[in-house]
Amino acid sequence: MKKGLLAALLLSGAALAWAPLAHADLVSIGLQEAGVNGGSITTVASGNGNASFSGSYGTFTLNQVSATGTPPLPQPDMDSSSINTSTSTAGTLTVLASETGVTAPLGTYNMLSGFALTNLILSGITLVSETTYVDTANTLYGLGTKLDSASFTAIGSSSSVDPTPAFTSSYSLTEVFTVTAKGAGSAAGTISMQSVPEPGSLFLLGTGLFALGLVGWSRRRRA
């Protein structure tokens, strides 16, 4: 292997290995409504890396709720890809999507929280609230540290970047939807959480990609 290509591959490897590899940890979906299961959270789905549920719970029908956890990449990425719910009466439904056992990165870093209401709130549903949390104790549905939240009464979106606490061992990420209905109605929304790479990590990645491009350009020029 030529020295130039070897150097480029080493730089790219350094860029990708700047933090320990996270993995697809346990993802769980929980539902909560007053008067159901004594008001406690009921776990309705769980899986390694992703979970989904559709069905009835209390006065609500979950047409679909799904969550996807950290892929095999250095950065945590928790995505409640969709919640689509309807109800025939008044009530308040809380939907929690939680990923436990996240191990990288450790320390303090910035987490991007993205919120959206993707469909119009129809009829009796009056409010959809979305909130992101991290928990240093690695608690299922842990609400240890609130990162950010947004509330919607119509289609919209918002995002923010917030610092996490200092993680020293496994921790959890949790996203919470709260759907408030005064009568029959429906609503749908999304939440995502993604850590933001440090500038030094971005520099390493950019350097590695630049080196690979330079090697390719040099080979084409010689040809």
User: Are 70 and 25 contacting, i.e. CB atoms less than 8 angstroms apart?
Assistant: yes
Provide φ and ψ at 104, rounded to 5°: -155, 145
**Contact in structure between 61 and 55 (CB atoms under 8 Å):** yes
Query: pTM value?
Result: 0.79
Residue 25 structure tokens: 């940890």
Scanning the chain, the segments in alpha helix (DSSP H) are: 3-16, 199-222
Instruction: Identify the architecture of domain 22-201 in CATH.
Output: Sandwich (2.60)
**What is the pLDDT at residue 70?**
80
Quick check: 79 and 68 in contact, CB under 8 A?
A: yes
Asked if residue 35 lies in contact with residue 94, where contact means CB atoms within 8 angstroms, the answer is no
**Hey, where are the domains in the chain?**
22-201
- pLDDT the model gives residue 54: 96
Q: What is the pLDDT of residue 220?
A: 56
For residue 106, the SS3 value is coil
pLDDT tens series, the chain, 223 aa: 444 433 433 334 433 333 444 456 899 999 999 999 999 999 999 999 899 999 999 999 999 999 998 876 556 778 776 899 999 999 999 999 999 999 988 999 999 999 999 988 888 999 999 999 999 999 999 999 999 999 999 999 999 999 999 999 999 999 999 999 999 999 999 999 999 876 544 444 444 445 445 545 455 556 5
